[in-house]
Structure 1
Amino acid sequence: MAVEDPPAAPPPRQSEAGAGGRRTDKHGRRLEVYNEVLARLRSSAEISPAFEDALWAHFHRLPARYALDVNAERADDVVTHQRLLEEARDPERRPALSVRVVQVSRIIDGDMGDSLDNPDMEMVTSNHLPNQLIHPPPAFGSSSNLELLGLETSEGDVRSADDTDHSVHLISRPMHEITFATVDKPKLLSQLTSLLAELGLDIQEAHAFSTIDGYSLDVFVVTGWHLGSTEQLQVKLLQKFHKVEAQACSVSSTSSPSSEGWGGGASVPSTSVEIPTDGADIWEIDLKLLKFANKVASGSNGDLYRGSYCSQDVAIKVVRPERISADMYRDFAQEVYIMRKVRHRNVVPFIGACTRQPNLYIVTDFMSGGSVYDYLHKKNSTFKLPEIVKVAMDISKGMNYLHQNNIIHRDLKTANLLMDENKVVKVADFGVARVKDQSGVMTAETGTYRWMAPEVIEHKPYDHKADVFSFAIVLWELLTGKIPYEYLTPLQAAIGVVQKGIRPTIPKDTHPKLVDLLQKCWHRDPAERPDFSEILEILQRLSKEVGTDTEGRHKMKTGFLSALKRNH
């Protein structure tokens, strides 16, 4: 289906952004960057009104953070992004691709020693400052996070207090910058990162933007390819991309629910979603008995409503008809298949589902306590140590049950942990969960980057221990009340976890047993991480120490209720 051109608003003139001083809001920043880019382009060439309109349309179709992140001094890079997105409109030219060598640089003072450990690193004296580098900087190279993740520190970077050499040096490292523009689709970012990994490229920085008219602009700074063969890299990237696309189309066109079941790349059924059954249970919802109330939340693929079914308070997960695809059907069928099989105090109870299109619904008990994520980050509430241990035990019990039934959740995070009216925490959202195959090993990346295990980020085979890593990040979140890696984008966090082995900083006053548990659970080697049965034993011993068995549970309930009252 053709995608319509975005509406091009009249471009603002420079006086609009500058009359009252610099604007600090996101929209104002977009205007500032647009005007700065336009001014730089005008300084070297004559610009037509039509080009001004097209440039503003480019900024308008991308999210505001594009203007916040892009290096406005590199006006030509903005034009390149605009060109690539326009080329991506033509199916014959997808993906539109640009590959170039860039120079990631850092200026420091003092003596760097006689040599640098990294052969790719170059030292330039004060007579050769950044504007004289052989290669341009990255399009988004102004980010301090790029220096953090992209530059490796050598011994020469460390200087003693009595160092008297105050000369200026520029430490630089050539890398490749790869920019893709194509039609946006689910799991595109996963496909691209996997493609780069298969070519032996290490991602040092990444920026992903979705346009308002259905396209995607993805920029990666990578190492791992010889600097003198950029054209060959571009050819390899295109070959690999088209091969992956062809394989995906082949799977989608040849698979069906009847032949592949819920696990294959199923084509879209014409009437209803086929879900394997043993005939022992019935999950189809009678729509006449299902009543919708208010909308609770919205996502990219669906909405969540509060409602009732046979007078029972329920949550109704609705898949938007316009977002239905073969992958969506597969995930929906998988979620129903798993949820109908699990029954545990610490797993959200499944009521039923509607599997006849266009009405694809999953109905569960309504969790009146909301998510742990909202409790921490929207209500700004915190947990005392006994509460943390109790919540961690609830999560561990639910996850231990799932793992005993060969189910890997794959997206364990505080947003998927819900609380009932008694403040019992339950594991929820099995949209990307999977039943382990006989080998117990899974492949393909899924989940949310901030909570994702390194082996999953790297598209390596993984097992249930990936959930244990995610649990560690959740436990840290309970301890601190902070979002993991809050000063990094999700992609930067993923790169840091894999490339640099970064982990969230554990507060100094954390209980020693929890420190030890965190370090075990987020260990780089999955084999070194404990199972949830072991985690439960550790937490149960700790619960006796901090008093959560009897008095602690009462405090937990009181603490929650008082906190909720304060926030209403």
Structure 2
Amino acid sequence: MYMGDTESCCNSKVVLGSEWYQNGKERQKIEVYIKVLNRLRELNVHEAMVSGFDDDLWAHFHRLPTRYALDMNVERAQYVLMHKRLLHIARTSATATGPALEVRLVPVVPVYALANHNKIISVRSASGVSACSNSLHSNSQSEVTPQDSEIQGKMMRHMHEITISTNDKPKLLSQLTSLLSETGLDIQEAHAFSTLDGYSLDVFVVGGWAVEETEKLKHVLAKKIQKLEERSQLKENGSLPLAEQEKIRMNIISRHVIIPTPENGVSTCEASWFRFEKKIASGSFSDLYKGTLCNQDVAIKVLKQESLNENIQREFSQEVYILSKIHHRNVVKFIGACTKTPYLYLVTEYLSGGSIYDLLHKRNTVLTLPPLLKIAIDVSEGMKYLHQNDIIHRDLKSANLLIDKTGVVKVADFGVARVRNQSGIMTAETGTYRWMAPEVIEHKPYDHKVDVFSFAIVLWELLTGKLPYEHLSPLQAAVGVVHKGLRPKIPRHTHPKLVELLQWCWHQDPSLRPNFSEILEFLLHISKMACD
């Protein structure tokens, strides 16, 4: 897409979306990308001469936050190739080559003020990224005189720069800084970047290690990081401890958990039926495990005992109640639950295809019109059924749409769902900002039409493969939706009928939005047109 010289490369990005290019920081990001590309070619770096490298380099910059580009020292453009390589190792498999880690010496100039000039000399003149804005571009604050350079040279010393890439996870930066401190390293500088597809790139400048023992430091850190990742993997993906499994099994028997069955309506679960395999997700209040029940793959949501309070228990009971009352091809299937303390858990069918969010944003799947419509129709069928049963989901988003092994999409996660009361009035703010209807954000009375608005944002995701309002924080997006009528930009070549449907569904006035029966009819009409 970005072949050719710098000017045509820049123009290609303008075509992608003028409002995006006009954003100041995004424009700077593009400018840094172009400078890095040109610098690598000036240095005759072989990789930069290969056809398609400019696309590959832009994908690297796009994957990382704008701050990464703004912190980049363009004169050390070759560092970008090291960052790309480490992220590639982290995304594929580091088991054969060890952790995605690089350790190197960098010359450092301490921060100090020149008495006669009152200006700051760069903290670090040779590393790839820097915390001081004037070290990003050599003359960004003031010109460094020959006298300054001489003083810099006299004060120059070397430290180690450590760059690590791994799966992004909560408290990762804290874990890494603790690991470095335990190794006897004095952290002078740290930069943490998270990619759009769930990986981290963390850069540290440290003292406290002999400059001539760089390889030894890398070897020591590689072993420690490997152990850290193994412990994290066991904690995040490993089975629930056997003692905890046994407690839950015994609780299943003592509480007489009700399991719906087609033969006689209900049955009591036996301990021998129940097995945990691995943790597949973790939240603030619960952990989700893949397991088996009667040799059937299941998803087991276990509430964290330390997080239990009256509100959490009430919401959990509400979720179990709703799921136990519904049965539809496009809604996740309820299997069983225990709603009595101390062990609260919910068992549903296990959907091996993952979520629509993962499909779009982690696997970077590009959908053509037929599969896009198929997903939208599946979601509409499920939501139509829920609304007909007076159930409002209130958190409809791509992460809560799961895919079974046959490709059927099902609405899941009813943690904040509600049965519509007689007045039909609710005002509580709940859901996720990027998908949230304006009336929910404003705490105004709302009804089932909030799900229609959220569906429109999901439909836009399916069209673009992008995160809604990706260049705004969730709160900024919410303010824009309410006060400026902000909506995601519809791609120029979108099917006219889909444009019409999007604008209909995310109308500011809830009463003017369609219901899911109308949406389903509309989608089926588009599908028929596409096939003719």
Category of TM-score, reference length = shorter chain: 0.5 to 0.7
Q: Would you say 1:500 and 2:484 are equivalent positions?
A: yes
1:462 match: 446
The sequence identity of aligned pairs, in percent, is 60
Deviations 1:420-456 (A, max 9, x none): 0110000000000000001122221100000000000
Contact 1:354 1:360 in 2 (8 A): yes
Describe the SS at the equivalent of 2:277: strand
With over 3 angstroms needed to count, the CA separation of the structure-2 counterparts of 1:344 and 1:539, relative to structure 1, is: same
Aligned match of 2:461 in 465, 471, 477? 477
Matched letter for residue 124 of structure 2:
A
Cα deviation for residue 304 of structure 1 reads 1.1
Q: Would you say 1:19 and 2:127 are equivalent positions?
A: no
Aligned match of 1:377 in 353, 361, 384? 361
Cα deviation for residue 274 of structure 1 reads 12
Residues 160-559 of structure 1 aligned to structure 2 (within 5 Å)? 282=266, 285-547=269-531
| Distance (Å, rounded) in 2 between the aligned partners of 1:446 and 1:313 | 31
Contact 1:372 1:414 in 2 (8 A): yes
Matched letter for residue 325 of structure 2:
K
Cα deviation for residue 14 of structure 1 reads 5.0
Contact 1:367 1:420 in 2 (8 A): yes
Contact 2:256 2:268 in 1 (8 A): no
Residues 134-145 of structure 1 aligned to structure 2 (within 5 Å)? none
Matched letter for residue 318 of structure 1:
V
Could you say what the CA RMSD is over the residues aligned between the two structures, in angstroms? 3.1
**Structure 1 residue ranges without an equivalent (≥5):** 1-12, 33-60, 65-270, 549-568
Deviations 1:58-86 (A, max 9, x none): xxx9998xxxxxxxxxxxxxxxxxxxxxx
- TM-score relative to the length of structure 1: 0.49
2:178 match: none
| Distance (Å, rounded) in 2 between the aligned partners of 1:17 and 1:479 | 45
Residues 51-66 of structure 1 aligned to structure 2 (within 5 Å)? none
Describe the SS at the equivalent of 2:289: strand
Contact 1:283 1:352 in 2 (8 A): no
| Distance (Å, rounded) in 1 between the aligned partners of 2:256 and 2:282 | 23
Cα deviation for residue 547 of structure 1 reads 2.6
Contact 1:285 1:354 in 2 (8 A): no
Matched letter for residue 329 of structure 2:
R
| Distance (Å, rounded) in 1 between the aligned partners of 2:483 and 2:172 | 28
Aligned length: 297
With over 3 angstroms needed to count, the CA separation of the structure-2 counterparts of 1:308 and 1:29, relative to structure 1, is: farther
Contact 1:295 1:306 in 2 (8 A): yes
With over 3 angstroms needed to count, the CA separation of the structure-2 counterparts of 1:381 and 1:443, relative to structure 1, is: same
1:187 match: none
| Distance (Å, rounded) in 1 between the aligned partners of 2:327 and 2:479 | 37
Structure with greater helix percent: 2
Contact 2:383 2:516 in 1 (8 A): yes
| Distance (Å, rounded) in 1 between the aligned partners of 2:318 and 2:403 | 24
Contact 2:277 2:291 in 1 (8 A): yes
Contact 2:257 2:269 in 1 (8 A): no
Describe the SS at the equivalent of 1:296: strand
Describe the SS at the equivalent of 1:370: coil
1:94 match: none
Matched letter for residue 497 of structure 1:
V
| Distance (Å, rounded) in 1 between the aligned partners of 2:359 and 2:497 | 25
| Distance (Å, rounded) in 2 between the aligned partners of 1:367 and 1:24 | 42
Greater shift in the superposed pair: 300-309 or 459-468: 300-309
Describe the SS at the equivalent of 2:458: helix
Contact 1:283 1:351 in 2 (8 A): no
Describe the SS at the equivalent of 2:385: helix
Matched letter for residue 459 of structure 1:
H
Q: Larger relative CO (CA 8 A, sep 6+): 1 or 2? A: 1
| Distance (Å, rounded) in 2 between the aligned partners of 1:499 and 1:272 | 50
Contact 1:283 1:353 in 2 (8 A): no
With over 3 angstroms needed to count, the CA separation of the structure-2 counterparts of 1:62 and 1:292, relative to structure 1, is: closer
With over 3 angstroms needed to count, the CA separation of the structure-2 counterparts of 1:272 and 1:22, relative to structure 1, is: farther
Please list every run of at least 4 consecutive aligned residues from structure 1 whose deviation after the TM superposition is greater than 6 angstroms.
61-64, 271-275
| Distance (Å, rounded) in 1 between the aligned partners of 2:272 and 2:310 | 28
Contact 1:454 1:498 in 2 (8 A): yes
With over 3 angstroms needed to count, the CA separation of the structure-2 counterparts of 1:311 and 1:440, relative to structure 1, is: same
